[in-house]
Amino acid sequence: MIELELANGVKIPQIGMGTWQINDKDTLQELIKTANELGYSLLDTAAAYSNEISIGKAWTQLGIKREDLFLSDKVWNSNRGFEAVQSACRKSLKKLKTDYLDLYLIHWPASPKLYDDWKILNAETWRGMEQLYQEGLVRAIGVCNFKSHHLDALSKTAQVMPMVNQVEFHPGMPQQELISYCRERGICVEASSPLGNGAVLVNAQLKELAKVKDKTVAQICLRYGVEKGLVVLPKTTNPVRLQENLAVYDCELSDEEMRMIDAIPYCGGIGIDPDEVTEFG
């Protein structure tokens, strides 16, 4: 598995296994078993996915070595603040049956539209993340769904800048400005929903390109993220597709093909604007 290097030197696998909406214990166990055999190590979860306990049981019962996993987790909105994020992390560690995380992320920014004190809220949560990092409970820290104004504000008080920003990215949502912004600041971008939650797989232009390249549309979407230097986190409940989603290093997209994909208009996905998000849950 190809690895990228975060700003603090921690190596992160370029393709990880997304686990959003996969809650069934047995399904998760089977997927993690297959994923491990295929060479996946990055498991991306979140407190809000309600599957931390099942993931913790799965990897320990399967006898996977902790050092062969890259466990990434996210703190939920209800645990913003210096103290709250630290106790949330400790609870998550217990559920995941581990004493450290490889990566811990703030799931959503507090947004200017919802909170007058959004800058303070994000800064205080981040201070708690830095504390966890300093204590060695997490090997790397980052954020999700942060736009440049959230990152600009955070940079005023951060002692350590986020090493990762996980955002929705797929054909139809190329995030070009945000990716450039993050690249200039050494922030690794992770693509959540790299297949647009399945919606982009029926796009006619992508289907055509996939035929020319003798790849599947899913593989074209993942290769698109890989060529941009992103970490991609496809999600599947199908063990065969786990393998398909890894096989993206034997195909290259030309500059012209990349530009063609960049120009695809929005064609489905999650589509939540972090500034519009209501605090669902």
What residues form the annotated binding site for substrate?
107
Residue 266 annotated as catalytic: no
Give the number of other CB atoms < 10 A from CB of residue 95: 18
Is 145 a residue that touches ligand A2P (CB under 6 A)?
A: no
Is 195 a residue that touches ligand A2P (CB under 6 A)?
A: yes
Write down the least CB distance from residue 195 to ligand A2P, Å: 3
Catalytic, out of 49, 104, 133, 181? 49
Is 58 a residue that touches ligand A2P (CB under 6 A)?
A: no
Angle between helices 25-38 and 52-61 (to 10 degrees): 50
Window 215-254: contact mask with ligand A2P (x via CB under 6 A): -x-x---------------xxxxx--x--xx---------
Contacts with ligand A2P by CB under 6 A: the residue count is 18
Is 178 a residue that touches ligand A2P (CB under 6 A)?
A: no
Write down the least CB distance from residue 164 to ligand A2P, Å: 17
- Per DSSP, helices labelled H in the chain are 25-38, 52-61, 82-95, 118-134, 148-155, 176-184, 204-213, 217-227, 239-244, 255-262
Mapping DSSP onto H, E and C, the string for 6-53 reads CCCCCEEECECEECCCCCCHHHHHHHHHHHHHHCCCEEECCHHHCCHH
Is 18 a residue that touches ligand A2P (CB under 6 A)?
A: yes
Write down the least CB distance from residue 119 to ligand A2P, Å: 31
Is 257 a residue that touches ligand A2P (CB under 6 A)?
A: no
Comparing CA positions, the residue from 232, 110, 221 lying closest to residue 164 is: 232
Binding residues: 107
Is 23 a residue that touches ligand A2P (CB under 6 A)?
A: no
- Dist CA 164 CA 131 (whole Å): 17
Mapping DSSP onto H, E and C, the string for 216-230 reads CHHHHHHHHHHHCCC
Residues of this chain that interact with ligand A2P (CB under 6 A) are: 18, 193-198, 201, 216, 218, 234-238, 241, 244-245
Q: Catalytic residue numbers? A: 49
